[in-house]
Structure 1
Amino acid sequence: MKSIILFLSIITLGTLSVSSQNKTEASLFYRSDSVYVDEIKDASGDLYQKVGHHGPAIENEWMALRLYFNNKACAIDVYNKQKKGLELKTAKWYPTEKEQKKGLGADYYKAGSTMGLGGIRLWDGEKVVPLAPISMRTAKVKKCGSISQMEMLSENVPYKGKEVDILVRVTAFSGIREMRVEAFALTDEEVQFVTGINYHKGQEVKKEDNYVISWGYHPEDVAAEKIKVGAAIIINPENYSDKKDDGKQQMFISKPTKYIDHWVTSTIEKDKKLGSLEAFEEYVIQCSKDI
């Protein structure tokens, strides 16, 4: 049953536009041989050092997202691009300084210990519950039709005296900058999810009922240069019962449910269309109306 649920959305979405050109990509590989695979799993739940870009990744023409394959699951990190195009399998998330100067993007974003941009964890009524420890963690990627998807299944996560299986799915669509994040509780009882967006000292943060934007520099040290990054999470406020700010991230706590979804997007100051906070916010406002 889990495997059916795991890729039901992929099959459905993929058949909608099989003839369209797919302007997305998915990437998952072990660092030992760099051979691309569709699935990895591990009972420890931590293959951070063994897997390329530390977990599964997907991209559209404007950005890439990755899920960490460790006890930070399911935090979402961002790779931003200087120019429109697909480059994940060329750069493998960490392009050289020379490649960046020639126009490839970089990991300007820092998720740290937070959920990053739209990541998923649980809420027990008092605090955030990480998706760890687990009995098995499985990552999958898929490219089909006009989309790419990555998924992370965390099995037997301790939650309120019981154990639950949590599936997180992220979808990149051809032709649009936004990506969709979904979370499923594969259990008989409802749970409370928590998601959000992180920020750093010195950044501007814009908060509305249905979206939050962060804008500014991230304290990252793997990029060749420091560039201002814009990031946004767009939610349906009706799905959430509370919101909190812990000083590092704005969090949204869901009502008891077995499913939530939201959208995330990002840009950098070098972007010709969305290279300022004003332009990015205008775009996010329009997205929040369309979604």
Structure 2
Amino acid sequence: MRRILLLMLLLGCVSGPLTARTLKARYRVTTSDQRRDCPVVIRDIPDWAVSATVTSDGETIPVQLDRPLGELAFVADISGSREFRVTYSSRPARHGYPSRVHAQMWLKQPDKTLQAADTVSSTRDDMYHKLHHHGPAFESEYAAYRIYFDKKQTIDTYGKKHPRLELAETMWYPTAEQMAAGSGYDNLRVFGSVGVGTLKGWDASKRKMIHITDFARREARILARGPVRTVVEMRVEGWRYCGREIAMTSRYILYAGHGEVQVENRIEGDFRGLLFTTGVMKMAEHRVERGEDWVAAWGRDFPENDTLKWERESVGLAVALPAAQIVSRQDDRTSCLFQLTPDAQGRIDYAMGMCWRRSEWFDGLSDEECLRRLEASVAEARKPVAVERVR
């Protein structure tokens, strides 16, 4: 009898962990119009879930469960509304969806090799030369961006000729052979400008941007790297700005099927009444179009200082902002800018993007049509997506 009881206990110990915990839920996602590869984020996921499966209309949809963020993300075509079935599981995922996005950050080693890193930090402004391509970089099939880990924290752009992932091979700096085979490359010289969509400080009296110079600690993190989206953060703590001490976290989210980036800035500390600024840089041979809460520019300039090796590139930049938080529209000599204040929660959220004349995606379109498509995609990224759990 004791042997039977012991055997039963042993079987219980073995079979218990093999039994997965699951939960099935239905969600209705509603948009104001027809959207292709519409980003969907679900935040009421169970604490114990480590994987999930999403289906709709008999289709299995690639999904990404970002446990540290407490979010489930996927993209899907939605016209008005669409229902999705989600099955959460306590077991790791068995499916391996092909990645449509990529993120990377590389620390330079003394022996000149590179070490992959998800998090790097410093209490000094000394990371620019310690990192390959000077900071984190991330891409979708249609565009790539990097963030300079220095006092400017400017966002730079990399154009794609063909819709595909490239940074794992080109490492931002393609060889002549890779370029001859159709790879894209850095297509913009940002100088001391805002680049596209960088949130900076603002000195209203001097009408100039304020860089992050007096701080306690800075950090760059890759929070998610696919297969559906990348999430990259830049954080500064103890930033002594305009007589205050604040912290600022800037989160950049790039989804599969998209070239535009959703930007979420969170200000902590005594932020009431503080002004910040963002926009797009003034390029050579540029023209600017501006609305109440957006700005777009089309320009033509050399992407590098070497004007013999490189040709002039035609690039479009655009930013769409929260109208209620805009205080003024004052430009400086380098950039077309808006000045904004944080909302009651310390947030300044917006969308930004880039288009490139050499991109297959814009082939056959005029410069005007390229800019219109970019403006539309950035504006669309600002439109709300309603996610409702169906009981």
- Name the counterpart of 1:4: none
Shift, 1:133, TM fit:
2.2
Distance 1:27 1:81 in 2: 17
- Name the counterpart of 1:62: 142
Task: Find the partner of 1:106 among 185, 188, 193.
Answer: 185
Please say if residues 16 and 145 of structure 1, whose CA atoms lie closer than 8 Å, have aligned partners that are also in contact: no
Amino acid at match of 1:211: W
- Name the counterpart of 1:143: 225
The number of residue pairs the alignment matches comes to 282
Distance 1:210 1:177 in 2: 20
SS at match of 1:35: strand
1:1-291 alignment to 2 at 5 Å? 11-13=69-71, 15-17=72-74, 21-32=98-109, 33-73=113-153, 75-126=154-205, 127-141=208-222, 142-144=224-226, 146-190=228-272, 191-221=274-304, 224-257=310-343, 258-275=346-363, 276-287=366-377, 288-289=379-380, 291=382
Distance 1:239 1:171 in 2: 21
Shift, 1:144, TM fit:
4.2
Q: Which moved more, 1:211-220 or 1:123-132?
A: 123-132
With structure 2 as the length reference, what TM-score do the two structures score? 0.67
CA RMSD of aligned residues (A): 2.3
SS at match of 1:279: helix
Structure with the bigger RCO (C-alpha within 8 Å, sep 6+) is 1
Among the aligned pairs, what percent are the same residue? 24
Distance 1:149 1:218, change over 3 A: farther
Please say if residues 298 and 371 of structure 2, whose CA atoms lie closer than 8 Å, have aligned partners that are also in contact: no
Please say if residues 108 and 226 of structure 1, whose CA atoms lie closer than 8 Å, have aligned partners that are also in contact: no
Shift, 1:109, TM fit:
0.7
Amino acid at match of 1:35: Q
- Name the counterpart of 1:5: none
SS at match of 2:187: coil
Distance 2:146 2:68 in 1: 18
Please say if residues 122 and 129 of structure 1, whose CA atoms lie closer than 8 Å, have aligned partners that are also in contact: yes
Q: Which runs of 4+ in 1 moved over 4 A?
A: 18-21
Structure in which a larger fraction of residues adopt strand: 2
Larger Rg: 2
SS at match of 1:132: coil
Q: Please list every run of 5 or more consecutive structure 1 residues that lacks an aligned counterpart in the other structure.
A: 1-7
